[in-house]
Amino acid sequence: MQLSKSEEELMNYLWKLEKAFMKDLLEIYPEPKPATTTVATLLKRMTDKGFIAYNLFGNSREYYPLVKKKDYFSKHVNGLIKNFFNDSASQFASFFTKETNLTKEELEDLKKLIDKELKNK
């Protein structure tokens, strides 16, 4: 299951806060802030999809993520590689390094990461 763009934005805020009441989530949004009802609808959808849950404190709900950001991102990247790069990580890496305008320093940092992973394997 996947989150919509607006749900993903809200999920990013929840990952950042780790636990949050509605008021906390509304505060973290930049201006113009969404309506309370919009955020409530998104939270309901995300709960129904199994991405978040909440604890009740009287009439207030404290929301928290059920899915780790790393896991969500990893699933998307793997899906992207499978669907757009013929399930080839090297095709993805080639596209990523050529089409993202990385600086020489960023490419060198990537090379160091790859070299480190090669040593660990």
Total of domains in the chain: 2
> At 58, which CATH number?
1.10.10.10
Alpha helices in the chain (DSSP H): 5-17, 22-28, 36-48, 69-84, 89-99, 104-120
Last residue of a domain, one of 50, 65, 80: 65
pLDDT in tens, 38-79: 999 999 999 999 999 999 999 999 999 999 999 998 888 888
pTM score, whole prediction: 0.74
pLDDT in tens, 81-121: 888 888 888 888 888 888 888 888 988 888 888 888 888 88
Q: Which two tokens stand for residue 109?
A: 């940092």
Q: Same domain, yes or no, for 11 and 61?
A: yes
> Does 2 or 18 have the greater pLDDT score?
18
Q: Do 30 and 13 meet the contact criterion of CB atoms below 8 Å apart?
A: no
Range of the domain at 21: 5-65
Q: Same domain, yes or no, for 11 and 56?
A: yes
Phi, psi of 65 (to 5 degrees): -75, 145
